[in-house]
Amino acid sequence: MPRRPAAALATSGEVLRLIRAGEAVTRADIGRVTGLSRPAVSLRVTELLDHGLVVEDSEGPSTGGRPPTRLVFNAAGGVVLVASLGASRAQIAVCDLAGKRLDGVSLAVDVEEGPDTVLPLVMDTWAELLGDRPLSQVRGVGLGVPATVEFAAGRTESARIMANWTGVAIPPIIAERFPVPVFLDNDVNVIAIGEHRAAYAGDADDLLFIKVSTRIGAGVIAGGEILRGALGAAGEIGHIPVRDGGGVLCRCGNVDCVDSVASGTAILRDLRDRGYQVASLTDVVGLVRAGDAETMAVVRNAARMLGEVVATAVNLLNPAVVVLGGDVAEAFQPLVSGVREVVHRRSTALSTRNLRIERSRLGPGAGIVGCAHMVLDHILSPEAVDAAL
């Protein structure tokens, strides 16, 4: 490998990036890749060792003489606190610095109760999950919420939806109890990040994740990175109107948004209007498995309307894979099949030539994985590491 100018890769943060990526795992590797002198390499490695960011592991392969000592990123050198909130459930966990879940719980929540109720519950749960770990071990916090999020400001922006969260700057509230960097994003964005990093790494760098649950939303991975848009509003496909929706008023104030006619809430409403006593999606699953014709028709109609919106998104974004997640998509294979049929009929031939439309590979755990990576991408970036050191 050719030597690079030392000035290009001179910092301890960049050396840590090389070690984490496996591009340089010995002192000799670091010198060869960066062009740094042996004393400069020693200085940076010592700094990383002293701060617990790397450890010396088993001996590496030798080309003669004493084998070199391998340098390994110390994933156990701290933890991150993460939570993925949905409209009615929350996944809350503690992860190590490699994003591996160490402990976690799933809780029933009602986000409409607002941040004054929900955030203390989440923070109390983190404190319980930390157990005997000292607070000094916490390196960062990541939270996904079912609302539009202005990412740079860490502020929710949902004037008509989740109104009591609108304009709330969440990071300062959490930082009062956990004084570390706090990152906030839309719940579907963090799920999309989780699916991409853990299920499609190296397989699909252009991915469209559709969450079909109590509500409908999307997260877009473009060129391997989450696409948030100018202010964080990218992916709000739930509020794209559909044809022949029946004039259903949406929570946002518009009519026939796909969220209002094809979500889990909409399926339950339509079945109740037909006289079915369905309390939850579990009841609907039972009817589908029993082959109830009217229930199947409702699910297929939801799939048709959702498929039209997804087809438009496929034409616009040309993803390699569309991932359908959320409890509705995970429960109803006919919905997934229906969406796939409409997309291939309505999207262009080139955009669907190699397109895959699949159910989530990670299930409910995707949000936790995504929140962890959202935090780690920031706190372990070369710039952040250099600033901390």
Q: Considering its fold, how many domains does the chain have in total?
A: 3
Q: Which residues of 128-147 are buried (b: 16+ CB within 10 A; e: fewer)?
A: ebbeeeeeeebbbbbbbbbb
Would you give the distance in Å from CA 334 to the centre of its chain? 25
Element spanning 18, H or E: helix 12-21
CB 139 within 8 Å of CB 74: no
29: closest CA among 21, 130, 109? 21
Per-residue pLDDT of the chain (389 residues; tens, 9 = 90+): 444 444 455 799 999 999 999 999 999 999 999 999 999 999 999 999 999 999 998 665 555 556 678 999 999 999 999 999 988 889 999 999 999 999 999 999 988 899 999 999 999 999 999 999 999 999 999 999 988 888 888 888 865 567 788 888 999 999 999 999 999 999 999 999 999 999 998 889 999 999 999 889 999 999 999 999 988 889 999 999 998 888 898 888 899 999 999 999 999 999 999 999 999 888 998 898 888 999 999 999 999 999 999 999 999 999 999 999 998 988 888 899 999 999 999 999 999 999 999 999 999 899 999 999 999 999 999 999 999 88
pTM, full prediction: 0.90
Does one domain contain both 300 and 244? yes
Q: Could you identify the residue written with the tokens 């969406």?
A: 339
- What is the residue range of 88's domain? 79-190+367-388
Residue 5, domain member (yes or no) = no
DSSP category for residue 136: G
What is the CATH number for 237? 3.30.420.40
Does one domain contain both 209 and 270? yes
Does one domain contain both 207 and 350? yes
Does one domain contain both 92 and 64? no
Residue 207 CB partners (closer than 8 Å, separation 6+): 192, 195, 196, 200, 220, 221, 319, 320, 321, 322, 323
Residue 3, domain member (yes or no) = no
Q: Residue 59's beta-bridge partner residues? A: 69
CB 38 within 8 Å of CB 31: yes
Does one domain contain both 292 and 321? yes
Residue 195, domain member (yes or no) = no
Does one domain contain both 227 and 356? yes
306: closest CA among 246, 350, 260, 374? 260
Does one domain contain both 376 and 344? no
Does one domain contain both 225 and 281? yes
